[in-house]
Amino acid sequence: MIGRLLLGVAAATVAGGLSPPAAHAGPSLDAIRERGTLICGANGSRAGFSLVNSEGRWEGMDTDVCRAVATAILGDAEKVEFVKVTSQTRFPALQTGEVDMLAANVTWTLTRDAKLGVDFVAPVFYDGQGFMLPRALGVNSVDELDGATVCVLPGSTSEKVVNDVFRARGMTYTPVVIEDQKELNNAFFAGRCDAQIQSTSGLSASRATVAANPEDYVILGEVFGKDPMGPVVREDDADLRDIVGWSVYALQQAEEFGITSANVEEMAQSEDPEILTFLGATGDLGEALGLSPDWASTMIQTVGNYGEIYARSFGEQSPLQLERGLNALWTDGGLHYPPPFK
Amino acid sequence: MAEASLRMAPRPPGAVSALRERLFGSRRQGLLTVVAGFALAWVAWQLVRWAVLDAVGPGGTSQACAAASGACWAIVGEKWRLILFGTYPLEEQWRAMLASGLMLAGAALSGIPRLWSARLAAFWAVLLGLVLVLMAGGVAGLPEVGTNAWGGLPLTLILFCCTVTTGLPLAILLALGRRSDMPVVRAICVTLIEVIRGVPLIAVLFMASLIIPLFLPTDLTVDKLLRAQIGMTLFFGAYAAEVVRGGLQAIGTGQYDAADALGLGYWSKMRLVVLPQALTHVLPALMNDILRAFKNTTFVSIVGLFDILGATKTAIADPNWIKYAPEAYIFILVVFLLFCTAMSAYGQWLERRLEHADKL
């Protein structure tokens, strides 16, 4: 009887149960094509990066990157299956093959890249770590924080940054480690700690949305560390790595060319040979990556260019109202510099 | 017994006068009653004001909530679909609803003692098979929905039903094994029970979701839901096994001897004589474990599954609604309270019924 029960459970978990071994060792790309969907690990609880909306649909910049990659490989932005990962489970999920790629606001570091058997591809969001405190404390610089209690997320970049910052200054602090970003925000605004450290994007988001009175809190001007975030893939598939990287660059290049989801068909009639090559009207860029010639044009049509994604995730169309800052294109004084499409 | 004698105790004449005697018997008592009464009334008034009078109803907007001083039930109106069904595709939602309905109906039927037989296990195997096929799709024209998209109430119910239906047989086997004469079987059962009971459920789930896959070859992936389910089943099985063992120990040797004298083999003896009595003895305690299994389903949100709690946590990450997290939590508190109160009321009814049967 038990055997039958277990069998029933196992047999009926068909969808994702025991998947057959991949056709070749390594190539994740083959597995994606065979399966017909891209499995993408995302956080789901980080405003701007990834959230689940009221209808149960995944939204945010990370999820749009996944949709862009799915469009490039499978020609359909909806052929993505999202898996919720946390900062503890994201790397094991990728390493064990549970997901094909991570778009889970992961900071690119040497150690992670070298030691975890994963490859960071291209930054989609540049961030840094900052401290936020109640204005009433009258603190203007990190140097005045000796003995402070600091709310911090476990296993995050900020946990390491706060440690380094205080050690370098010979100061001490009491960490208040809180698992969940939302709980951490609540704890901070309820006064459980003097300061909280996280990415400046996160700080401004929580100040704008959680604080009863945003004016009462100050984000210190000192920004520590570099937080380039972007998609991560396993090291075993160089083809997939290329496609993910150039998908990100295509989103940015489209913005640089002024190609949007609205005008992509119009731009296909452009006189500019570079734009024609980019959109696949001429040349063989798609073929070089093993994709269809119109991969970039389909991608921009369905997902939009980087600027459109930014606007609806972080910018003026989102509640976060975050300036482009470092995330502007290089032509506008930012850091996004897509390599040439030729 | 004690309860019965209390119930039999003669009621003092005049409930109103007794109440007056208790509340206003002396000056001090009267004063305390008035002070406590005012305090309670004040708290109740504040609560009503927050939850009803100043609140924004489920049809409201987040802007209306920001302006109001009371509760924001608009978050429930806005997010109920995400909380109850997670990331399950909107157009396929009827399948998730139907699956939940099937499991609730199955659970209600299983509560009728007249239907308790070996056939109940077969019934659940079929029912759960049906539910899982309905949720997963891929047959009969139903679009395929991966377990990654499952969430909310159906996921919670699937985890709960699978835990109980696979965990109970496991518990009985473990309990029998622990009392077995065969040293190897006994050692295995004791080790399994003690190791699992010695670690927290979170550790079991992390083990199942993070560590087990590292041992498996990379081209073999076992579904995350299935892994979590196996962890939950083992955990429930180990705890329930000890409850069942308590029941087994309560059966006198006379019963065993009588069964032996009838020439029954080990399994017939257990099935026909020992287990029916032992399980009846421990039913209330088992109900307690079953209730706990329901609440334990919330732990899976930690390994990235959208059960009701996980889906709620995701729902309140929305910057527009982040301030109204308490209202969303109160909503799922009510959902859990409904389920758990129903189960606990059923447990009490069962207990009374068994007490009655004992006396016959």
Domains and CATH numbers, chain B: 79-359 (1.10.3720.10)
Determine the pLDDT at residue B8: 53
Determine the pLDDT at residue B20: 82
Task: Assess whether A138 and A221 both reside in one domain.
Answer: yes
Task: Assess whether A98 and A165 both reside in one domain.
Answer: no
Determine the pLDDT at residue A9: 41
Determine the pLDDT at residue A211: 79
Across A324-333, average pLDDT: 87
Taking CB atoms and an 8 Å limit, are B320 and A209 in contact across chains?
Answer: yes
Nearest to A132 by CA among A189, A196, A185: A196
Across A77-100, average pLDDT: 88
Determine the pLDDT at residue A26: 46
Cα separation, A310 vs B256, in Å, equals 74
CB atoms within 10 A of CB B6: 8
Q: Six-digit token pair at B288?
A: 């307690």
Determine the pLDDT at residue B9: 54
Instruction: Report yes or no on A339 lying in a domain.
Output: no
Determine the pLDDT at residue A7: 41
Determine the pLDDT at residue A206: 83
Query: Contacts of residue A98 in chain B, CB cutoff 8 Å?
Result: 213, 221, 224
Determine the pLDDT at residue A63: 95
Asked if pLDDT for residue A186 goes beyond 90, the answer is no
Torsion (CA) A238, A243, A245, A247 in degrees, nearest 10: 180
Task: Assess whether A119 and A257 both reside in one domain.
Answer: yes
Task: Assess whether A256 and A325 both reside in one domain.
Answer: yes
Across A267-274, average pLDDT: 88
Taking CB atoms and an 8 Å limit, are A19 and B220 in contact across chains?
Answer: yes
Task: Assess whether A107 and A149 both reside in one domain.
Answer: no
Determine the pLDDT at residue B11: 56
Instruction: Report yes or no on A52 lying in a domain.
Output: yes
Asked if pLDDT for residue A120 goes beyond 90, the answer is yes
Asked if pLDDT for residue A19 goes beyond 70, the answer is no
Of A8-12, A29-33, A299-303, B84-88, the one with minimum mean pLDDT is: A8-12
Taking CB atoms and an 8 Å limit, are A92 and B210 in contact across chains?
Answer: yes
Asked if pLDDT for residue A22 goes beyond 50, the answer is no
Instruction: Report yes or no on A100 lying in a domain.
Output: yes
Determine the pLDDT at residue B142: 82
Query: Contacts of residue B219 in chain A, CB cutoff 8 Å?
Result: 21-22, 25, 97
Nearest CA in chain A to B78: A54
Instruction: Report yes or no on A19 lying in a domain.
Output: no
Determine the pLDDT at residue B12: 55
Domain boundary among A227, A244, A269: A227
Domain boundary among A227, A250, A278: A227
Nearest to A182 by CA among A51, A87, A46: A46
Determine the pLDDT at residue B162: 92
Whole-model pTM: value is 0.79
Task: Assess whether A152 and A237 both reside in one domain.
Answer: no
User: Which regions in chain B score pLDDT beneath 50?
Assistant: 1-2, 4, 360
Determine the pLDDT at residue A133: 92
Question: Residue A58 maps to which CATH number?
Answer: 3.40.190.10
Instruction: Report yes or no on A11 lying in a domain.
Output: no
Task: Assess whether A56 and A197 both reside in one domain.
Answer: no
Taking CB atoms and an 8 Å limit, are A45 and B323 in contact across chains?
Answer: no
Q: Six-digit token pair at A108?
A: 């690119």
Q: For chain A, give the mean pLDDT.
A: 85
Mutate to test the interface with A, among B318, B323, B329, B331 (most CBs of A within 10 A): B318
Domain boundary among A227, A248, A271: A227
Determine the pLDDT at residue A312: 92
Determine the pLDDT at residue A20: 38
- Shortest Cα–Cα distance, B16 to chain A (Å): 47
Domain span at residue A87?
A: 24-124+230-332
Query: Contacts of residue B221 in chain A, CB cutoff 8 Å?
Result: 16, 18-19, 96-98
Cβ atoms of A44 and B148 closer than 8 Å? no
Determine the pLDDT at residue B120: 83
Task: Assess whether A148 and A134 both reside in one domain.
Answer: yes
Q: Structural domain tally of chain A?
A: 2
Nearest to A75 by CA among A290, A274, A307, A338: A290
Task: Assess whether A191 and A134 both reside in one domain.
Answer: yes
Nearest to A71 by CA among A120, A31, A38: A38
pLDDT in tens, A192-250: 999 999 887 788 778 877 777 777 888 887 778 788 999 999 988 888 999 999 999 99
Task: Assess whether A59 and A119 both reside in one domain.
Answer: yes
Task: Assess whether A213 and A268 both reside in one domain.
Answer: no
Q: Which residues contact A203 (CB under 8 A, 6 or more apart)?
A: A130, A132, A196, A219
- Shortest Cα–Cα distance, B153 to chain A (Å): 14
Determine the pLDDT at residue A125: 92
Confidence tier at A15 by pLDDT (50, 70, 90): very low
Task: Assess whether A89 and A168 both reside in one domain.
Answer: no
Across A245-265, average pLDDT: 93
